[in-house]
Amino acid sequence: MLQAIWMAVRMTGAMAWEMLWALCLGFLLSGIVEAVVSKEQMAKLLPDSSAGTIVIATGMGAASSSCSYAATALARSLFRKGADFIAAIAFQFASTNLVVELSVLLALMLGWQFMAAEFVGGPIMIALIVIMLRTVLRPKMIEAARRQAERGLEGKMEGHAAMDMSLHEGTFWQKLTSAKGITATSHYYWMDWYSLWPDILGGLVMSGCLAVWVPQSFWRGFFLVGHPLLAKFWGPLIGPIVAVLSFVCSVGNVPLAAVLWNGGISFGGVIAFLFADLIILPILNIYRKYYGLKIAAILFGVFYVAMVGAALAVEWIFAALRLVPHEHKATVMQETLRWNYTSMLNLTMIAVTAALLWRFLRTGGPEMMKMMDHAPEESGGHHCCHLETGV
């Protein structure tokens, strides 16, 4: 038993080391974008669910990287400020499924094909969600959802969703290199780490345990590896269910997706699993608080069908283009640490992280962090944070 636990711990540590630089780089790029792109006008840019508005919502979501909880809270905040409900939902999905850190990790741990599949399948899924919500939702239902949203029941990461530390004056380079720009980047960087570390740690621990303790024969039987055609349909159907029961969301799903891929789940099944970070049980409960039980049930049904449909489409498209990997082997699953490019990149990003931590601590970062888990009203109504330059 002790040996099995030690092997799981080693595997977890090895996976954490393999993905560390990618996470740091993703959070850094995300922090830079959020520091120079303002959220002030987002609600005004999402007045309806037309095709043009949905494209804008998707683009803004991809630029406004968030953990699943913060993305859900931000979508409600936009809805309360006047944004169209369906456009806010499109924004929510883009901000978790089309972001830099996710794509970098997918390319690193599973291969570029999975990164490409996420970017192909994400817009397909959002389009399916928009079409189905337009069909199912009635004006009275949306109005009821708005009344429920106005009650302001607290979910999670409310303060994170409300904060806007972006700069408004100057060119992109001027914003980025200014004292306030560097400070805002450091705050967003550590805000992302703070909000995502539980999911990342949970995903790593679960993945390490499953990789070591669960035999391959179980996964092969569960994913119907012996029935290739049936497995292509079974994977997208079961992938979201596994995600719902795992309680892990955002980028924390990636190492677990690697374990499932090694176990034999189909290509589309991996994509459906990754899409399902916004229907895990805690977030379904938040939908109930935000919009009411009826809307929450509709969202779950629509999201599930869209995830399955998009994953099947990705499976067929990539199979037709012969881009589906033949070997189910995620290269990240190594049990030993080595001195290689990964180690050098990790040490580089650790140095960058230390510099950003120094900036964060000197410019009121810890005080800002205390507001992240509370609704804006409880945080004194601060919808943006005052930034000290630290110089």
Model pLDDT for residues 177-202, shown as the tens digit of each residue: 888 888 888 988 888 788 777 777 87
Closest CA to 148 of 66, 54, 79, 218: 79
Q: Which of 247-256, 357-366, 381-390 has the highest mean pLDDT?
A: 357-366
pLDDT band at 63 (very low <50, low <70, confident <90, very high): confident
Predicted model pTM: 0.78
The two most distant CA atoms of the chain are separated, in Å, by 64
Share of the chain above pLDDT 90, in %: 38
Best CA proximity match to 270, nearest among 102, 57, 68: 102
pLDDT at 201: 80
* pLDDT above 50 (res 380): no
Domain presence at residue 384: no
In a domain, 15, yes or no: yes
Task: Report yes or no on 307 lying in a domain.
Answer: yes
Give per-residue pLDDT as tens, 300-342.
999 999 999 999 999 999 999 999 998 887 654 454 556 777 7
Amino acid at 375: A
Average pLDDT over residues 155-166: 62
Its domain, for residue 337, covers: 2-377
pLDDT band, residue 160 (cuts 50/70/90): low
Higher-confidence position of 352 and 100: 352
Highest mean pLDDT among 58-62, 271-275, 280-284, 383-387: 271-275
Return the DSSP state at 333. -
DSSP annotation of 118 reads H
Average pLDDT over residues 142-163: 77
**Residue 387: inside a domain:** no
The yes-or-no verdict on residue 360 having pLDDT over 80 is yes
pLDDT at 18 over 50: yes
pLDDT of 228 strictly over 50: yes
Query: In the predicted model, is pLDDT for residue 81 greater than 50?
Result: yes
In a domain, 388, yes or no: no
CA distance 140 to 380: 33
Least reliable range by pLDDT among 66-70, 161-165, 318-322: 161-165
Computed over every residue of the chain, the mean pLDDT equals 83
Does residue 22 lie in a domain region?
A: yes
The predicted structure's pLDDT at residue 215: 83
Q: Are 133 and 155 in contact (CB under 8 A)?
A: no
Q: Is residue 299 part of a domain?
A: yes
The count of domains in the chain is 1
Kindly state whether residue 203 falls inside one of the protein's structural domains. yes
Residue 248, pLDDT score: 66
| 143, pLDDT greater than 70 | yes
pLDDT at 25: 79
Find out whether 125 and 118 touch, Cβ atoms under 8 Å.
Answer: no
The pLDDT of 139-157, averaged and rounded, is 85
Instruction: Work out the pLDDT band at 13, boundaries 50, 70, 90.
Output: confident
The top-scoring range by mean pLDDT among 122-131, 185-194, 222-231, 364-373 is: 122-131
Residue 274 has pLDDT above 80, yes or no: yes
pLDDT at 123: 96
Digit-coded pLDDT (tens) for 236-258: 999 999 888 876 666 778 888 88
> Which pLDDT band, with edges at 50, 70 and 90, does 41 fall under?
low
| CA 373 vs CA 184, 219, 378: distances in Å | 19, 38, 10
Residue 164's pLDDT is 62
Residue 75: phi and psi, rounded to 5, are: -60, -45
Q: How far apart are CA 313 and CA 319, in angstroms?
A: 10
